[in-house]
């Protein structure tokens, strides 16, 4: 390896489909506010049809929404019953005013951001809403996929609609083709769209209308990049594409870090510079914005009403229905957070924050960190999700009981699952699946998983170290800033974890910036795993596997392939002379006498 350091509308759209039918004679043409049975979600629309136990509403933008009437509020159901008993009246003559008006789409994202309100966050806010837990309402049906046509790309999912989208990309340049597929886990049906030529894009979000998929450029078509988004409207088995737009045009770091669906047909985007914006689609109107200062990780809850955002230094909670910050706290008391991932549990009363192999659990009701434990030998390249109230899934493979820190199961072939409330969405070459993890009962001999977490006799035994205990067990960090002959500056940051079983893991990040204006040129993060030995003052590390975790570059000459090639080259074993300064500071020296100070990363939990 090349060593970088030294060496929507949730309940109303439960069964959303599109309808095209004439309004019944006795239905009013005026708009009213419709609410779901929980009272939390609403939409302003006309009632244009009522058939059996379903109603069809039409919003101002012309969108038609089909809704089971038993999911409406008591007031709305009473309104419908009164309409049924009311005498029919002649249908009023239609006029242009009754027709849906053309949708006005904003083509000036910079002007939108200038006018959108900026949400502020402080370290003292905590008014996060926690609803009563809900059980899963149905058993998801797997969706069969055809044989891949080219490279199958990362998927997008909407936990409210229980749908997922995936694309196959083949060719490059003008000959590039994108095949988009949408799976419905409620019915098991797949909508397979015709190939779109001359483009290479992958799905980022399925909007609340159920027919719009927001796609992001891949660069392989030589016309779009990861700065570009495009709405693909799916109707009658065909794709109608909108124009390409750049949400962060004119900014220094305009690449899209993530895009995800919000409530009421909104789209939440984040730039690689940490600028988060809520857009009303399809108008592309900026509703609000918040700047984190650095690229964060995110997760929305199952009904898309809350957004959790975590950077290395800050946790922010946003109410997506009201567009306001409801919770914020500094993460500095938790020690340094490396490559954070964040995920709601299915009951949505806790939040899982990962920092490489650390598992931190936040009680959302009390705003208290109730767990901070170290899990050795795992990374988070394939995500870290709160897949079950009792378990977290790390790196798409390792199931961990978060209360005890015990590894209780190991999976393969899940890739990078997307959390969808009680389920985890995964994609393979043959199917889309919404898995209810754990896949099988974790405990054996009649012991429930819950009791297993508290019964010490049921806990897996600690792996015995096959060598004397070392003062170097635990996590360490190393930082070094260098100035090169070109004037450019490089910041090296590495975290080391030395486990009792003799294995280690290193995450290394090199961020290169321009010496003239301090603008970031490129950033690369890698992960190295291997084994270690410590005898006396000799400490040796033998690499077994390395991979590229994240890469960003604004310099055409610096490519991802360059680093992938370098990292793929396994480094020979390396030994250092180790000097123990204090229990929290050690120094490694190579054979040339170069010194590398390592500072221990403490994991003491400060509970608020």
pLDDT tens readout for residues 356-391:
778 999 999 999 999 998 887 777 777 889 999 999
At 442 the pLDDT is 58
Asked whether the beta carbons of 34 and 43 are under 8 A apart, the reply is yes
Least confident of 68-77, 328-337, 580-589: 68-77
At 60 the pLDDT is 65
At 322 the pLDDT is 92
Question: What residues have CB less than 8 Å from 321, skipping those under 6 apart?
Answer: 40, 41, 263, 264, 305
**pLDDT above 90: percentage of residues in the chain:** 34
* Confidence label for 469 from pLDDT (cuts 50, 70 and 90): low
Q: Where are the domains of the chain?
A: 11-92, 474-600
At 21 the pLDDT is 30
At 323 the pLDDT is 94
Burial class (CB in 10 A: 0-12, 13-18, 19+), 167: buried
With respect to CATH, is domain 474-600 assigned 2.40.128? yes
Asked whether the beta carbons of 26 and 83 are under 8 A apart, the reply is yes
At 276 the pLDDT is 96
* Confidence label for 602 from pLDDT (cuts 50, 70 and 90): low
Q: Cα(260)–Cα(268) distance, rounded to whole angstroms?
A: 5
Least confident of 275-284, 453-462, 500-509, 556-565: 453-462
Intrachain domains 11-92 and 474-600 with the same fold: no
Q: Cα(350)–Cα(387) distance, rounded to whole angstroms?
A: 12
* Confidence label for 349 from pLDDT (cuts 50, 70 and 90): very high
Asked whether the beta carbons of 457 and 584 are under 8 A apart, the reply is no
* Confidence label for 266 from pLDDT (cuts 50, 70 and 90): very high
| Ramachandran quadrant class, 452 (left: phi over 0; alpha: psi -120 to 50; beta: rest) | alpha
For 443-456, b where at least 16 C-beta lie within 10 A, e where not — what string?
A: beeeeebeebbeee
* Confidence label for 556 from pLDDT (cuts 50, 70 and 90): confident
- 126: tokens are 């905590």
* Confidence label for 325 from pLDDT (cuts 50, 70 and 90): very high
Q: Cα(45)–Cα(515) distance, rounded to whole angstroms?
A: 56
Q: Which CATH superfamily is domain 11-92 in?
A: SLA1 homology domain 1 (2.30.30.700)
Q: Cα(310)–Cα(296) distance, rounded to whole angstroms?
A: 5
Q: Could you report how far apart the first and last alpha carbons of the chain are, in Å? A: 41
Quick: pLDDT tens for 142-179.
999 999 998 888 789 999 899 999 999 999 888 999 99
Q: If you average pLDDT over every residue of the chain, what do you get?
A: 80
- If you average pLDDT over residues 335-362, what whole number do you get? 90
At 294 the pLDDT is 83
At 448 the pLDDT is 33
- If you average pLDDT over residues 416-445, what whole number do you get? 82
At 288 the pLDDT is 96
User: Which of 122-131, 268-277, 591-600 is most confident?
Assistant: 268-277
* Confidence label for 259 from pLDDT (cuts 50, 70 and 90): very high
Asked whether the beta carbons of 343 and 386 are under 8 A apart, the reply is yes
Return the higher-pLDDT residue of 499 and 444: 499
**pLDDT above 70: percentage of residues in the chain:** 83
Question: What residues have CB less than 8 Å from 46, skipping those under 6 apart?
Answer: 28, 29, 30, 31, 32, 57, 58
**What length is written for the chain?**
608
Asked whether the beta carbons of 373 and 329 are under 8 A apart, the reply is no
Q: Is 69 helix (H, G, I), strand (E, B) or coil?
A: helix
Return the higher-pLDDT residue of 462 and 590: 590
* Confidence label for 453 from pLDDT (cuts 50, 70 and 90): very low
Which DSSP string do the residues of 323-350 spell out, in sequence order? Answer: TEEEEEEE-GGG----SEEEEE-TTSSE
Per-residue CA distances from 39 to 73, 136, 138, 404 (Å): 7, 20, 22, 38
pTM above 0.85, yes or no: no
If DSSP states are collapsed to H, E and C, what string results for 404-450? CCEEEEECCCCCCCEEECCEEEEECCCEEEEECCCCCCCCCCCCCHH
**pLDDT at residue 229 tops 90:** yes
Which DSSP string do the residues of 70-112 spell out, in sequence order? Answer: GGB-HHHHHHHHHHHHSPP-PPPPP-GGGSPPPPP----HHHH
**pLDDT at residue 231 tops 60:** yes
Quick: pLDDT tens for 44-95.
778 888 777 778 887 766 666 777 787 788 778 877 877 765 554 444 454 4
* Confidence label for 348 from pLDDT (cuts 50, 70 and 90): very high
Least confident of 5-14, 122-131, 260-269, 592-601: 5-14
At 40 the pLDDT is 53
Least confident of 462-476, 559-573, 589-603: 462-476
**pLDDT at residue 606 tops 50:** no
């Amino acid at each position: 390896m090349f060593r970088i350091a030294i060496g929507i509308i949730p309940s109303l759209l439960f069964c959303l489909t599109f309808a095209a039918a004439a309004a019944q004679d006795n239905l009013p043409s005026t708009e009213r506010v419709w609410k779901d049975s929980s009272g939390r979600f609403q939409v302003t629309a006309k009632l244009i049809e009522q058939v059996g136990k379903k109603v069809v509403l039409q919003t101002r933008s012309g969108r038609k929404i089909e809704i089971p009437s038993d999911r409406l509020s008591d007031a709305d159901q009473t309104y419908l019953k009164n309409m049924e008993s009311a005498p029919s009246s002649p249908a009023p003559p239609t006029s242009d005013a009754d027709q849906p008006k053309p949708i006005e789409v904003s083509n000036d994202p910079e002007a939108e951001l200038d006018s959108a309100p900026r949400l502020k966050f402080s370290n003292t806010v905590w008014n996060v809403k926690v609803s009563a837990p809900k059980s899963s309402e149905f058993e998801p049906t797997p969706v069969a996929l055809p044989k891949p046509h080219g490279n199958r790309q990362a998927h997008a999912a909407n936990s409210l609609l229980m749908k997922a989208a995936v694309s196959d990309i083949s060719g490059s340049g003008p000959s590039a083709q994108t095949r988009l597929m949408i799976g419905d886990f409620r019915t098991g049906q797949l909508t397979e769209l015709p190939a779109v030529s001359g483009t290479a894009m992958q799905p980022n979000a399925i909007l609340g209308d159920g027919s719009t998929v927001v796609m992001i450029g891949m660069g392989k078509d030589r016309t779009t990049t990861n700065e570009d988004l495009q709405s693909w409207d799916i109707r009658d088995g065909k794709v109608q594409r909108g124009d390409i737009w750049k949400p962060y045009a004119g900014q220094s770091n305009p690449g899209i870090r993530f895009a995800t669906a919000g409530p009421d047909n909104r789209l939440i985007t984040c730039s690689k510079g940490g600028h988060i914006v809520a857009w009303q689609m399809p108008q592309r109107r900026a509703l609000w914005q918040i700047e984190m200062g650095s690229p964060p990780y995110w997760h929305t809850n199952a009904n898309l009403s809350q957004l959790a955002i975590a950077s290395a230094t800050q946790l922010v909670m946003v109410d997506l229905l009201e567009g306001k910050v409801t919770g914020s706290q500094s993460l500095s008391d938790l020690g340094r957070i490396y490559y954070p991932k964040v995920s709601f549990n299915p009951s949505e009363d806790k939040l899982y924050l990962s920092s490489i192999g650390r598992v931190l659990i936040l009680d959302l009701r009390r705003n208290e960190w109730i767990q901070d434990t170290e899990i050795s030998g795992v990374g988070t390249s394939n995500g870290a999700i709160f897949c079950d109230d009792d378990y977290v899934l790390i790196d798409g493979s390792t199931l961990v009981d978060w209360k005890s820190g015990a590894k209780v199961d190991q999976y393969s072939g899940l890739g990078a699952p997307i959390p969808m409330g009680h389920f985890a969405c995964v994609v393979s070459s043959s199917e889309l699946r919404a898995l209810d993890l754990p896949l099988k009962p974790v405990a054996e001999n009649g012991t429930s998983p819950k009791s297993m977490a508290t019964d010490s006799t049921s806990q897996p035994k600690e792996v015995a170290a096959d060598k004397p205990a070392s003062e170097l067990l635990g996590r360490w960090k190393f930082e070094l800033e260098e100035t090169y002959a070109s004037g450019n500056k490089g910041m090296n940051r590495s975290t080391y974890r030395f486990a009792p079983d003799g294995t280690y893991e290193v995450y290394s990040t090199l961020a290169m910036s321009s010496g003239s204006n301090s603008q970031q040129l490129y950033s690369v993060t890698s992960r190295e795993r291997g084994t270690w030995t410590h005898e006396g003052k000799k400490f040796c590390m033998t690499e077994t596997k390395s991979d590229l975790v994240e890469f960003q570059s604004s310099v055409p000459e610096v490519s991802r392939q360059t680093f992938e090639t370098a990292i793929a080259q396994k480094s020979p074993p390396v030994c250092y002379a180790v000097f123990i300064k204090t229990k929290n500071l050690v120094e490694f020296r190579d054979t040339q006498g170069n010194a590398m100070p390592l500072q221990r990363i403490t994991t003491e939990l400060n509970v608020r």
